[in-house]
Amino acid sequence: MTSLADPLRLGLLTARNRIVFGPHETNLGRRRAISERHVAYYRARAAGGAGLVVTEEASVDGSDWPYERAPLAAECEAGWGEVAAACHAEGALVIAAIGHSGGQGSSAYHQQALLGPSSVPDVVTREIPKAMEAADVEAIVGAFARAAASAVAAGADGVEVSAGQWSLLRQFVSSLTNRRDDRYGADHLLLVEETLASVRAAIPGAVVGLRASCDELAPWAGIVPETAAKHLVRLASYPRGPLFDYVTVVRGSGYATWATRPDAHTPAAFNAELAASIRGALPASVAVVCQGSLVEIDEAEALLSAGKADAVEMTRAQIADPELASKIVSGRRDRVRPCVLCNQLCQVRDVRNPIVACIGEPRSGHETTDPDPLALAAPPAPSVRSAPAAKAVIVVGAGPAGLECARVLAHQAREVVLFEREDSLGGMVTRAAARVPGRERLASLVGWLENECRLAGVTIVSGHELTLEELDMHDGPVVCCTGSRPGRRQYEVVAPGAAVMAADLLAAERLPGAGGPGPAVVWDPAGGPVGVGVAELLAALGDRVVLATPDFVAGAELARSGDLVPANTRLARAGVEVARHSVVRGVDGSGVTVEDRFSGSRQVIAGAVLVDAGYRLPEDSLARALAASLPPGSVQLAGDVVAPRTIHEAILEGRRAALRLAGAR
Amino acid sequence: MTSSLRYPLLFSPIRIGPVTLRNRLVFSAHLTNYAEDGLPTAQHAAYYAARAAGGAGLIITEEHSTHATDWPYEKLIHGYQPAVLPGYRRITAAVHRHGTPIFAQINHNGGQASGMYTRLPVWAPSAVADPLFREVPHAVDEAEIEEIVAGYATVARHCKEGGFDGIELQCSHSSIVRGFLSPATNLRTDRYGGSLEGRARLLLELLQTVREAIGPELAVGVRLCGDELIEGGITIDEAVGVAEMVERQGCADYVNTSIGVATATLYMIEASMHVPPGYASFIPSAMREAVRLPVVGVGRFKDPLQAERALAEGHCDLVGVVRGQIADADFTRKARAGRAESIRLCLSCNQECVGRMGLNRWLGCIENPLTGRESAPLPSAPAEPPAAPSAPATAPAPPARAAPGALRGTRRLVVVGAGPAGLQAAIAAASRGCQVTVLERTGETGGCIRLAARVPNRAEIGDLVRNQLRECAELGVEIELGLEADLEEVLSRKPDAVIVATGSRPAVPPWAAAVPPGKVVDVRAVLEGTAEPSGEVLLVDELGFHQATSVAELLADRGASVEIVTPGMVVGQDLGITLDLEGFMMRSAAKRIACSTDRVVMGVDASGVTLLHHPTGVEETRRVDWIVLAVAPEPEDALYRALKEAAPVCSLQRVGDCVAPRRAHAAVIEGARAGGTV
């Protein structure tokens, strides 16, 4: 039986294991080049044991500029070389992803017409590409070969050609977009075949991979798994040998861009059967890599042992824990920081150019600026003046900020006592966030933090609200991670009308007041996962639910994680009414009054309870009291107590507080 | 008539503290996204220098941030870093070369930001989340306020060292100072909150500090918001009160004004053509009655006459003209020379200036292909548009008007199609010495733009054509109307080069092809007047821009009952980019235009139109009198193909919608590139 730790043959080369760090957008580039930030990012995964590192897809020529920092092959050679050198030194193979986005690109940067097989507008941008002329097609085939040659000359072990979701090659294969009347219309696979053949010829002996959308989720005209299998068989049975050494099976098209790398609302390992069908059709001479929310190690292992795939792309899992592969190989699976599939920071196709990062591992993407918190774990050499033993640290509040702070401090060999008012740890994550449908995995992150704290020797005292008097007796640093409290109400509440905070509702899992569920209005000025999730929970109870949003769509902020379209679809299917561009004015005995922002017209949702998914305020009473009684600088604050935000800021600031204390030892 | 007679007030000098301006036209502060790694670039210098050369009385740069906690958008200038100095000197030297004073705007955006780039908490007077950034800020304590004040002093010193003539404190639409001034965002109970005096305390401290940091040689001004247009926000009376406090304090030399909050009511700050020029003049007007300091008025002043009138009517002492000088860097020079007719008038379309800012892209202009490329070297006439440029912020530059690449000997160019692409190609080629003839099939120039200008309150988009025709006339371009140019016609003219700009034609979706003709029409037919839908009208929008929404308004105004359906999640989605969506929502509510999203047309039969609500799979039927289509058109490329097939007797290029139907900026840029490389 094949296991994740087994070597993988790819053409003439062998990867040390079957764990792949797949290609993805990072915004780490400098202009359109692979940067030193990329090098550090990939090196960390190679050092963490990845078998194969596939770099961020580079456009094969200047007619493609899909996002501002999209790498361009002509500017990547030096960067590819540095990535290859860095990762080879750590034992990983390096593959350069190359591609062309075609009609799914952007004309905003080069201000030229997009290229596509036909004049069919992109579903998302509605932009119409230029239907490529024969010379355009020929140029693209040549550009692929040149980019491949450049990557391999730089030191890469091969290339991965994109016929995935965002790709010109897929657009040629698909009848959704290919309406040509020339030979590329008669044979939709021809361009892929010609491209792979020319890439093969350009890099003899190197690995050629193919990223292929094998299900466009648009069966009326799109690629379906059966056609994908036939296509791949044809490419693998090319007269002069297979045109690719491995294929990474993905899904999605312009009609379902979200479906390629969805968040946790989609079950993990969703491509397992798709990959298995491709594996079953192809000869053993080519490898099949499964992609798609592979974050559970057992699940990935099972895929291989069942022969459904030969390797797994565990990309987000390695963003969350760069050492995933080495922990798997060395039998430390229980120590892997889990990926919770939130897509909150690692999905970066966003015009603001955010840098790839991770809520649980804020150093990801920031390897060149952030210290590795555990690399300092060895106590420093005694200074000239023999320092007294560092004083114990009290961390107040065991939400993600407090847990991360305690974890890092304990790794610095500091004595840490972590106090939590509630019986269970995890703060708002456990009590509220992880109770939102589709966000349950968040609990595993605080579970991991708790376990790491215990292993590192943190003393945890839960179910105890620390008083100022108790803290007075403590002679050492205090880190205040006391979280948040309900925010201000921007509307009137007149009894018997009732308003409840979303966090309290999630903690209680039922509406207050009336005997059972009744109509509810969820007021969501934030547009994040909470408002949508609470509406879904309430709708599942069967009564009328209205989600009131100031925006034009529900969950407007979910665009970043890719859940915007799915969330609105779920709400529609659940029968949730969305009061768009609206504000809540008040709740009283007759119900909840909702006002349209533009027309000013009001409606009353009869008998409804108001659920407020709005902003919260810092729970800073302890911090203020301490600041008043202790010398300046002796209290550190982290997370929501500074300003209520997300898990990311909590963990980042918890870690920073620990590192500051460690530095101030 | 000379300008002194036409615009006597506009071209009278004025003193701003220690600085004397030669005229009253201000290129006010606005974002450009030209910064790189937090520093000003050569593009900044070239951009401002072009407006200085064009005669602007005063240039005020985009904001320079005063503190590391402030980084709301990626391409912000980090004024608090000493590394900005070389860039500052480059800008001020380039502008001073033309004898124009330049001020720097300095600012901290406060709570109107997120921690995306800083990875730090956002600072604000109170923990009130901004409606756009949606991040709860940290309410600053007094030590942090001191840090903010110190940051302003640092940046003020940098500006002085960098050669600026003055400093403007942005306290108006996106600023921590605005945050403190506004009762909507300042809930403090300490001495920095409460009364207007308390809320203005930070502003006055900053002014005092900045003045102390730079001494008397530089001008100092404040930009104040006269009405935030938000619930519980600043309105005109309080704003005037603040201006009076500023004057009383004695540190400031002028007051600039604005309207709206950048993160809540931006559509009124950078108003589109739907909002009348001078709409914000009540603000400087009220302030000018209360203070003796010179007051700057802003608000969609698009020609010198409007600006002159604002001065004559006493609304303000200076006039901010930003978009007007983005569209035509020589706005002021032309007005002064009495050639106001030659000004390339801004359309207030917001497509490539404002519209690109929110998308983190460099500032451009729909009709001025040089805007945003002032620093780019001229290309060496490639046959095809070159591949992606190596410069970050720029695509291949079209040649300048007075092109150094002027041709030796005359070349005959035939341009087919007098839409924006064809006319721009003609302009670019004629300015290089080509003899240009434009052949147009219809009786009118302007292509789709002419049609777009026929709807209520969209007439100004037609200025694009007016401006192009003006340039064509000045350059001696011949335009022949009503001539269908086929292969023979084109070849018979024995051109050295042909540029095909034949545009696009309406497409008929498969489901509509089955319907008997008559009651299913394209928006173009409505605008051309060949169809007059009435009664119940279903407008099918697959474009998401003005095509559907403006025709819906036109038909509703004529008494039709209109529903817009779109497969997208929002009707008129891209109007959001140009700040037209809010206005459309208000007007469509008043005109009872129904907006239905997430629906695709499945077919039409005797029972009506079948729509599929795709998220749920539920089918609906509409019984309507007319169906109007705003769907993707097809390129009209037959002539291009025919010319290509015919032996290559001459150089052949195609531009604009006949390549791929897109928006006007693409047509203009491609026209400029092609005409510049004939």
Cβ(A68)–Cβ(B391) under 8 Å?
A: no
Residue B599 contacts by C-beta under 8 Å, 6 or more apart in sequence?
A: B565, B566, B567, B611, B612, B613, B614, B620
Give the mean pLDDT of B618-625.
Answer: 96
CB contact under 8 A, A108 and B356: yes
Q: Specify the pLDDT at position B281.
A: 97
Q: Which of A59, A100, A111, A364 to mutate to test the interface with B (most CBs of B within 10 A)?
A: A111
Cβ(A95)–Cβ(A156) under 8 Å?
A: yes
Of A119, A598, A618, the CB nearest to B589: A598
Residues from chain B contacting residue A526 (CB–CB below 8 Å)? 129, 134
Q: CB distance from A644 to chain B under 8 Å?
A: yes
Residue B214 contacts by C-beta under 8 Å, 6 or more apart in sequence?
A: B156, B157, B159, B160, B167, B220
CB contact under 8 A, A128 and B662: yes
- Calculate Rg over the CA atoms of chain B: 27
Residues 391-430 of B with CB under 8 A from A: 392, 395-396
Q: Specify the pLDDT at position B515.
A: 78
Which sign does the torsion angle of CA B387, B388, B389, B395 carry? positive
Residues from chain A contacting residue B586 (CB–CB below 8 Å)? 598-599
Residue B113 contacts by C-beta under 8 Å, 6 or more apart in sequence?
A: B70, B71, B72, B122, B130, B133, B135
Q: Specify the pLDDT at position B409.
A: 67
CB contact under 8 A, B387 and A573: no
Q: Specify the pLDDT at position B405.
A: 54
**DSSP state letters, A277-343:** HHHHHS-TTSEEEE-SS---HHHHHHHHHTTS-SEEE-HHHHHH-TTHHHHHHTT-GGGPPPP----
Alpha-carbon span A129 to A104, nearest angstrom: 9
Residue A380 pLDDT exceeds 90: no
Burial state string for B402-426 with b = 16 or more CB within 10 A and e = fewer than 16: ebebeeeeebbbbbbbbbbbbbbbb
Residues 32-61 of A with CB under 8 A from B: 32, 61
Alpha-carbon span B307 to B332, nearest angstrom: 11
* Six token digits for residue B375: 């620093």
Residue B404 pLDDT exceeds 80: no
Residues 31-60 of B with CB under 8 A from A: none
Q: Give the tens place of pLDDT for each residue, B250-302.
A: 999 999 999 999 999 999 999 999 999 999 999 999 999 999 999 999 999 99
Classify residue B46 by its DSSP letter.
Answer: H
Q: Give the tens place of pLDDT for each residue, B446-457.
A: 999 999 999 989
Residues from chain B contacting residue A32 (CB–CB below 8 Å)? 388
Alpha-carbon span A618 to A490, nearest angstrom: 17
Q: How far is CA B114 from CA A67, B109, B124, B132, B384, in A?
A: 21, 10, 11, 10, 42
Q: How far is CA A16 from CA A13, A297, A621, B83, B451, in A?
A: 10, 17, 54, 46, 64
Coil vs helix vs strand at B59: strand
Q: CB distance from B585 to chain A under 8 Å?
A: yes
Alpha-carbon span B315 to A314, nearest angstrom: 64
Give the mean pLDDT of A292-313.
Answer: 98
Give the mean pLDDT of B658-677.
Answer: 97
Coil vs helix vs strand at B269: helix
Q: Give the tens place of pLDDT for each residue, A394-446.
A: 999 999 999 999 999 999 889 999 999 999 999 999 999 999 999 999 999 99
The reported pTM is 0.96
Which sign does the torsion angle of CA A488, A489, A494, A497 carry? negative
- Calculate Rg over the CA atoms of chain A: 27
CB contact under 8 A, A62 and B386: yes
Q: Specify the pLDDT at position A633.
A: 75
Beta bridge partners of A420: A462
pLDDT band at B649 (very low <50, low <70, confident <90, very high): low
Q: Give the tens place of pLDDT for each residue, A336-377.
A: 999 999 999 999 999 999 999 999 999 999 999 999 998 755
- Write phi, then psi, for B581 (nearest 5 degrees): -70, -40
Q: Specify the pLDDT at position A631.
A: 79
* Structural domains of chain A, ranges and CATH numbers in brackets: 8-335 (3.20.20.70), 382-485+618-664 (3.40.50.720), 488-614 (3.50.50.60)
Q: Specify the pLDDT at position B400.
A: 41
Which residue is closest to B544 within chain A, CA to CA?
A: A126
Residues 93-122 of B with CB under 8 A from A: 115-116, 119, 121-122
* Three-class DSSP labels, B332-366: HHHHHCCCHHHCCCCCCCCCCCHHHHCCCCCCCCC
pLDDT band at A386 (very low <50, low <70, confident <90, very high): very low
- Write phi, then psi, for A393 (nearest 5 degrees): -110, 135
Q: Give the tens place of pLDDT for each residue, A482-506.
A: 999 999 999 999 999 999 999 999 9
CB contact under 8 A, A119 and B660: yes
**How many inter-chain contacts (A to B, CB under 8 Å) are there?**
149
The percentage of chain A sitting over the pLDDT mark of 70, rounded to a whole number, equals: 96
* Six token digits for residue A425: 């740890």
Pairing status of strand B14-16 against strand B19-21: antiparallel
Residue B530 contacts by C-beta under 8 Å, 6 or more apart in sequence?
A: B521
Residue with token string 């059967």? A273
Q: Which of B652, B656, B657 is nearest to B642 (CA)?
A: B652
Q: Which of A102, A84, A95, A91 is nearest to A143 (CA)?
A: A102
Residues 536-575 of A with CB under 8 A from B: 550, 552-553, 557, 564-565, 568-569, 572-573
Residue B392 pLDDT exceeds 50: no
Which residue is closest to B369 within chain A, CA to CA?
A: A111
The percentage of chain B sitting over the pLDDT mark of 90, rounded to a whole number, equals: 91
Q: Specify the pLDDT at position A634.
A: 82
Average pLDDT, chain B: 94
Q: Give the tens place of pLDDT for each residue, B48-95.
A: 999 999 999 999 999 999 999 999 999 999 999 999 999 999 999 999
Cβ(A372)–Cβ(B379) under 8 Å?
A: no
Which residue is closest to B33 within chain A, CA to CA?
A: A352
Alpha-carbon span A407 to A403, nearest angstrom: 6
Q: Specify the pLDDT at position A210.
A: 98
**DSSP state letters, A520-581:** EEEE-SS-SHHHHHHHHHHHHTTS-EEEE-SSSSTTGGGGTTT-HHHHHHHHHHTT-EEETT
Q: How far is CA A595 from CA A487, A518, A658, in A?
A: 21, 21, 46
Which sign does the torsion angle of CA A574, A580, A583, A587 carry? negative
* Six token digits for residue A222: 């799109």
Q: Give the tens place of pLDDT for each residue, A125-173.
A: 999 999 999 999 999 999 999 999 999 999 999 999 999 999 999 999 9
Q: CB distance from A576 to chain B under 8 Å?
A: no
Residue A513 pLDDT exceeds 60: no
Q: Which of B662, B665, B668, B669 to mutate to test the interface with A (most CBs of A within 10 A)?
A: B662
* Six token digits for residue A121: 């507008």
Cβ(A653)–Cβ(A471) under 8 Å?
A: no
Q: Specify the pLDDT at position B390.
A: 41
Burial state string for B13-41 with b = 16 or more CB within 10 A and e = fewer than 16: ebebbebebbbbbbbbbbbbbbbbebbbb
CB contact under 8 A, A110 and B390: no
Residues 392-421 of A with CB under 8 A from B: none
* A212 HSE (CA, 13 A, CB side): 33
Residues 329-358 of B with CB under 8 A from A: 356
Q: Give the tens place of pLDDT for each residue, A242-261.
A: 999 999 999 999 999 999 99
CB contact under 8 A, A615 and B569: no
Residue A481 pLDDT exceeds 70: yes
CB contact under 8 A, B74 and A31: no
Q: Give the tens place of pLDDT for each residue, B555-597.
A: 999 999 999 999 999 999 999 999 999 999 999 999 999 999 9
CB contact under 8 A, B359 and A351: yes
Estimate to the nearest angstrom the gap between the alpha carbon of A559 and the chain centroid. Answer: 12
Residue B396 pLDDT exceeds 50: no
Alpha-carbon span B631 to B523, nearest angstrom: 9
Q: CB distance from B360 to chain A under 8 Å?
A: yes
Give the mean pLDDT of B471-497.
Answer: 96
Q: Is B377 exposed, middle or buried (0-12, 13-18, 19+ CB in 10 A)?
A: exposed
Residues from chain A contacting residue B505 (CB–CB below 8 Å)? none
Q: CB distance from B506 to chain A under 8 Å?
A: no
* Residue A595 host element (H or E): strand A591-596
